[in-house]
Every structure is written in C-alpha cells, then in structure tokens.
Structure 1
Amino acid sequence: MKQQQVRVGQVVQSKKGRDHGRYFVIIDVLDPDYVLLVDGKLRRLDKPKKKKVKHFKVSNHISEEIKCRVESDSKLTNALVRKEIEKLIGNEIE
C-alpha cells in the first residue's frame, strides 16, 4: 500500500475510531506512520490526538497560517484552528 504524503497544516478527515468523519489539522508529523491532530473543539492544542496515517483521509487543503505558526513557534490558538478548518473545508462539514 502506498504511503500518503502528510504535512503540518494539512486538513484531514478521520475514517476510523470514535472520531470517524471529523476534520482535523496536522500539527506534528511524528514519523512516517503517526501524526498529531487537533480540531480546536474536542481535540484541543493542549491534548492532541496521536493517530496512524492509514486511519485518516488526506485532503488537498493546507492551512498556511497554521503551518507558519507551528514552524516558527508562534502562538497558535484553538479558535484559530477552528476558523482555519471552517475556512478550508467550508460546506463539506456536516
């Protein structure tokens, strides 16, 4: 199976687990198999979700704002994460 390319700031949709169907933003790539995800609501920045790459669907949406803030260690808030997901996904959110 081909490994998906994932990057910090990328919006993904969970396809396994109790968070099935929810959208998240990648805030850290731990290794080729695991990433840390947040959504600003249930999975906040203080307790990100560690998830296997094969358990979510990667979108083409990347938040440059979140990517820049993570890479430069600038302040990142849950409100900004929620706003970016809403802006990038728009009508796809249930």
Structure 2
Amino acid sequence: MLLNDLSVGQVVMSKSGRDKGRLFFVLKIVDDEYVLISDGDLRKLEKPKLKKVKHLIKYKLISENVKSKILGNEKIDNAFLRCELKRLNPMF
C-alpha cells in the first residue's frame, strides 16, 4: 500500500487548513489524491479527516504498531494513536 511515498501508519504533518502544523497518522489511502488521517485528539478515529496528499508533509517515520493493527483489522482507540505519536516523536 504505497502511493507517492505514503503508507498506512506513516506520520504526516498538515501544511494547510485549520489543522496546519499538526501531526497525524495515515489510516487509509483512498486514491491518488486523498488519504484519511487521524491523530486521536483533534481528529478522532470515528471521524477521520479526508485530506489531499499535496497538503501533507510526509515523514519517513512509520509506526509498525499502527500499521499492523490497521492492516490486520485489529481494534485501536484514540488513546493508542495519541501515545504512538508521542512515543515516535516527543519533540512535536
């Protein structure tokens, strides 16, 4: 599931919109232009943000925990996403 260097579980930062400067996980690649993102705080798993790929800054950081749970259809919650974001990059 790679598209333009994007993968499920990858950390991205929004570079436009109300959520500018916030970190998110890629939850699903919708098509060539759009992905679903969530951070477990501003954007919860119940209502992920549909975002254009061109409005994202892509990092080479992929959480294998998040990726394996999403691809394996395991249950994850918002607290798990928040903890993973903090664990992967505490300086953000």
Smaller-chain TM-score bracket = over 0.9
Unaligned 5+ segments in structure 1 are none
The two structures have a TM-score, normalised by structure 1, of 0.92
Residues in 2 aligned to 1:52 and 1:8: alpha-carbon distance in whole angstroms:
15
How many residues in Structure 1 have an aligned counterpart in Structure 2?
A: 90
Q: Report the identity percentage.
A: 44
The two structures have a TM-score, normalised by structure 2, of 0.94
Partner of 2:85: 85
Aligned-residue RMSD, C-alpha: 1.0
Residues in 2 aligned to 1:77 and 1:36: alpha-carbon distance in whole angstroms:
16
Partner of 2:59: 59
**Contact 1:4–1:58 (CA under 8 A) maintained in structure 2:** no
Unaligned 5+ segments in structure 2 are none
Runs of 4+ in 1 over 3 A off after TM superposition: none
1:1-94 pair list within 5 angstroms? 4-91=4-91, 93=92
The amino acid across from 2:67 in the alignment is: K
